[in-house]
Amino acid sequence: MFQKVVTSALIAGFGAGLIAALLQFAFVQPILLHAELFETGALTHFGNGQTQAHVATEIAADLTRDGLSVIFSALTYCGYALILMSLAALAQERGHAFSARTGLIWGICGFIAAQLAPSFGLAPELPGMSAGELEARQIWWYATVILTGAGIWMIAFGRNWTMWGIAIALLAAPHVIGAPSADVLTGPAPPELAAEFASRALTVGLVAWCCLGLFLGALWTNQDKAGAA
C-alpha cells in the first residue's frame, strides 16, 4: 500500500509541478519580476510622473533561479500529492473508489483547501507587499488548510446535518477569526500588479491541482489493473 501511494504521488506530483512551473514562467513570473523593481526601488509608483506598464518582459531569464523554481514546484506538488493520495486511499479503504474521474474532484477540493481558502485571508503576496508577522501568518495558513480540508471531508462523507453543520463551522472559523494582517500599508508596488498577480497565481494553482487529481486517479487505477493482471 505504501509503495502504491508513494509511486502514484511522486509521478503525479512531478507532472503537476512541471505544469505549474511552466504556467508560472509564462503568466506569473513576469509580474513578480516587475514588482521586484518596485521592491528594490528601481521603479517607483507615482514617484517620477509615470510608471511603465511593460518592463518585465525585457528582463532576461535567470537559469539558476528558474531551475530552482522548477525543482521546488515539483517538490511542492509531490508533497501535496502524497497528502492528497493518502486521503484518497484512506477514503477508498472506507469504500469510496478512487479513479481519474473522482480524482478531478479530489484535485479541485485540494485546491480549495490548500490555496483558495488561505488566499481568502492571505492573498498571494507580490514581493514588496506589506503583511502581518510571518510566524502568525504561517500558523493561520496551516490552521486554515487543516480546518478547510476537514470541513470538505465532512461535507463529502458526512451523512447527516450534524456532520454538515460542524463542517460549515470548520470552513467558516478561520475567516470569522480573521488572518493576521499588516499594521500599515506601505507596499511600493502598484495595486494593478498585485491584483493581476493574485488572480493569476490562483488560476495557475487551480489548473495544477486539477492535473494533480487527474494524474493521481489515472495512475492509481492503472496500478490496480497492473496488479490484477
Partner 1 sequence: MTTLVKSRVSTNVLSILAAAFIGIGIITVAGHVQAATLHDAAHDVRHATGFPCH
Among 16, 19, 43, 87, binds partner 1 (CB under 8 A): 87
- Span interacting with partner 1, options 102-110, 132-140, 155-163, 169-177, rule CB under 8 A: 132-140
Residue 177: Cβ within 10 Å count = 11
CB of 160 to partner 1, least distance (A): 24
Assess 98 for contact with partner 1 (CB under 8 A): no
Among 138, 162, 199, 203, binds partner 1 (CB under 8 A): 138
CB of 76 to partner 1, least distance (A): 5
In the complex with partner 1, the residue whose CB is nearer, 52 or 130, is 130
Using CA atoms of 32, 139, 146, 218 in order, give the dihedral in degrees to the nearest 10: 30
In the complex with partner 1, the residue whose CB is nearer, 18 or 168, is 18
Scanning residues 19 to 58, which ones bind partner 1 (CB under 8 A)? 20-21, 24, 28-29, 32
Assess 137 for contact with partner 1 (CB under 8 A): yes
Residue 47: Cβ within 10 Å count = 11
Assess 96 for contact with partner 1 (CB under 8 A): no
CB of 215 to partner 1, least distance (A): 15
Print the SS3 string covering the chain.
CHHHHHHHHHHHHHHHHHHHHHHHHHHHHHHHHHHHHHHCCCCCCCCCCCCCCCCHHHCCCCHHHHHHHHHHHHHHHHHHHHHHHHHHHHHHHCCCCCCHHHHHHHHHHHHHHHHHHHHHHCCCCCCCCCCCCHHHHHHHHHHHHHHHHHHHHHHHHCCCHHHHHHHHHHHHHHHHHCCCCCCCCCCCCCHHHHHHHHHHHHHHHHHHHHHHHHHHHHHHHHHHHHHHC
Assess 144 for contact with partner 1 (CB under 8 A): no
Among 40, 47, 53, 65, binds partner 1 (CB under 8 A): 65
Assess 158 for contact with partner 1 (CB under 8 A): no
Q: Which residues bind partner 1 (CB under 8 A)?
A: 1-2, 5-6, 9, 20-21, 24, 28-29, 32, 65, 68-69, 71-73, 75-76, 78-83, 85-87, 89-90, 93, 115, 118-119, 122-127, 131, 134, 137-138, 141, 201-202, 204-205
